[in-house]
Amino acid sequence: MSQFIQQLINGLSLGSIYALIALGYTMIYGVLRFINFAHGDVYMVGAFSGYYLGRWLINSLGMQSSVLLLVVVLVGAMIFCALAGLVIERLAYRPLRNSPRLTVLITAIGVSLFLEYSGQVFFGADPKPFPALIPDRLISFGGLTFTNKGLIVLGVTIVLLIGLTFVVRKTKMGMAMRALSFNPTACSLMGINNNVIISFTFGLGSALAAAAGILSSLNYPVITPLMGLLPGIKAFVAAVLGGIGNIPGAALGGLILGVAETMIVGYGDRIHVPPSYRDAVAFVLLIAILLFKPSGLLGKGTVEKV
Amino acid sequence: MLELREITVNYGSIVALHEISLKVEQGDIVTLIGANGAGKSTTLRTISGLLKPGRGSILYEGEEIGGEPAHKIVARGLSHVPEGRMIFANLSVQENLMMGAYLRKDRAKLRNEFDYVFGMFPRLQERSRQVAGTLSGGEQQMLAIGRALMSKPRCLMLDEPSLGIAPILVKTIFEKIREINKSLGITVLLVEQNANLALEVSHYGYVLETGRIILHDRSEALRANEKVKSAYLGG
């Protein structure tokens, strides 16, 4: 039983990473109706900006690994990626606002390849050790033992989810995001400059991807320019699983995917599934959801009265 | 207050509006009647900036607004209730009204507009927390009009407010349009297929046929016009 709970916590911690990335996919889909395939690479950019910022803080400013260091690196990477997201949207996607969606989709793949291979040019293709932002600790609780990092990932994700929920539900910007995802024409008739809302959404989604990049690098401290590929695809699956365009759905989809993967690693042997099949879990889930509930777990086809 | 001078609008190679000229005087209700596809909605969409005019000019309060993006035109105090209402079905009634007030800087005074809209349409107040997609067609039309009023417009354009609404509510909505015009002094440009109703409520009317204005006059005169009678008022 205690092993199961530990696996569950590990799964939720992994799922948090997928959830944070999936939120960006789903929010950007909401306002622009396309899948930003470069989103997984923004996650990579987040990890690398954290890598350079962290190293600079430790080596030049002599900061010690601590919660403060983690927070500074986390916030710094989020701000950097939010700006990067704005620039990507402005340069790559905005000129295509009235183009067919397929054009935008192909451009997204182009942006993805551009980020991956510019990463190899600028950061080098060999894996880099992510700095230890926070000292390792084991926390025992009721006969269970957790690493502090797993709990931090979970905790930071919860805080970010609460913040995001507040922004989306209670602020004027969030309301405009929801309105825009329903009807862009009506939005402009309210006096809303849709481009401002779209930029804001890209910034917000990219900041969450950056947070995911930092948090995952805490647990798996090796980063490479191609590290965004697989988590990017899995988070996309998570977004579809929850119902693309649905924000709570993306978070739920990410958590389910993370737990499912961890459980396969932990208990797969009992049903003759070797742990090495963990990466297949996402795709099995994708096929299943597309067969049985294509609108996703929380997604629903909206009906407009005329 | 609002003037169109020889506006031409093309959809690709198709000419949707052909050198349309019309004038809306301050404080009036002006209606645009005509058959399906005559170009009524196109006219409103061009004025509110959703479509770009090919040629001609649009003057609002003496300033050229032709070709300006839609969100800037709303900021000038010209609000458009589009055909099919386009309410935000995923937002609550209250949030829809908040979106209408998106540009308002004087947020403290929003209470007045909420009170006004809820006073006019009590049904919206009862359902203010409900998701707007669950409202009936008539209630959605009330919401669309209320939402447009939240921006405190000086001129309101309404596109087919009677479309797909129970007959008993149509009457209410037209009464409210008259009330908005009288008590708030908002100028109204009304597009309507139901020419009887439109000419009853309005001061002045334009008749649109395949992208051209073929007739315009005071509404009473149009109602007496033989041609209008046979073509639009059912004999």
A304 contacts in B (CB within 8 Å)? 89, 133
| ipTM at complex level | 0.93
| Rounded mean pLDDT for each run of 10 residues along chain A, 306 residues in total | 88 96 96 94 98 96 91 98 97 94 95 97 95 91 84 95 95 95 96 96 98 96 96 96 94 97 92 90 94 89 49
Beta strand segments in chain A, E:
128-129, 138-141, 144-147, 222-223
CB-nearest to A305 from B74, B100, B137 is: B137
Virtual CA dihedral for B64, B67, B73, B76, nearest 10 degrees?
-20
CA dihedral A82→A88→A90→A94, nearest 10 degrees, is: -120
CB B212 within 8 A of CB B9: no
Closest residue on chain B to A193 (Cα): B71
Check: CB of residue B97 under 8 Å from CB of residue B146.
Answer: yes
Q: How far apart are CA A177 and CA A165, in angstroms?
A: 12
Q: Which of A2, A5, A133 is nearest to A76 (CA)?
A: A133
Q: Which residue of A has its CA nearest to B134?
A: A305
Name the residue facing B95 among A175, A189, A192 (closest C-beta): A175
3-class DSSP state for residue A267? helix
| pLDDT over threshold 90, residue B87 | yes
Q: pTM of the predicted model, to two decimals? A: 0.91
- In this prediction, residue B231 carries a pLDDT of 87
Q: How far apart are the first and last CA of chain A?
A: 54
pLDDT digits (tens, 9 = 90+) for A78-117: 999 999 999 999 999 999 998 999 999 999 999 999 999 9
pLDDT band at B234 (very low <50, low <70, confident <90, very high): confident
**Tens digits of residue pLDDT in B207-232:** 999 999 999 999 999 999 999 998 88
Cα–Cα distance, A111 to B112 (Å, whole number): 48
Arithmetic mean of pLDDT, B12-22: 92
Say whether A190 and B100 touch across the interface (CB within 8 A).
Answer: yes
Residue A1, pLDDT score: 75
The pLDDT value given to residue A141:
80
CA dihedral B217, B223, B225, B227 (to 10 degrees): 110
Q: Which residues, in sequence order, are bridge partners of residue B14?
A: B11
Closest CA to A237 of A10, A51, A37: A37
Give the rounded distance of the alpha carbon of B105 from its chain centre: 24
What would the DSSP string read from start to end of A45-97?
A: HHHHHHHHHHHHHHHTS-PPSSHHHHHHHHHHHHHHHHHHHHHHIIIIIGGGT
Asked which of B110-114, B148-152, B158-162, B229-233 is least confident by mean pLDDT, the reply is B229-233
pLDDT reported for residue A304:
46
How many C-beta atoms lie closer than 10 Å to residue A257's C-beta? 28
Q: How far apart are CA B83 and CA B59, in angstroms?
A: 23
Chosen for mutation from B78, B80, B88, B169 (greatest number of chain A CBs closer than 10 Å) is: B88
Three-state DSSP class for residue A108 = helix
Q: Tell me the CA end-to-end span of chain B in Å, nearest whole number.
A: 34
Cβ atoms of B157 and B48 within 8 Å: the answer is yes
pLDDT at res. A306? 44
Quick check: A175 and B103 CB within 8 A? no
In terms of DSSP bridges, do strands B29-34 and A128-129 run parallel, antiparallel, or are they unpaired? unpaired
Return the pLDDT at B235.
Answer: 62
pLDDT for res B37? 87
Q: Could you tell me the domains of chain B?
A: 2-86+153-232 (3.40.50.300)
Structure tokens at A147: 């690493």
Range B114-133 average pLDDT? 95
Q: Tell me, yes or no, if A145 comes closer than 8 A to chain B by beta carbon.
A: no
- H-helix or E-strand containing B6? strand B2-11
Question: What tens digit of pLDDT does each residue of B158-212 get?
Answer: 999 999 899 889 999 999 999 999 999 999 999 998 899 999 999 999 999 999 9
Cβ–Cβ below 8 Å for A191 and B86: no
Show the tokens assigned to A3. Answer: 């092993």
Q: A3: burial class by Cβ within 10 Å (0-12, 13-18, 19+)?
A: exposed
Between positions 125 and 144 of B, the ones with CB within 8 A of A are 133, 135-137, 140
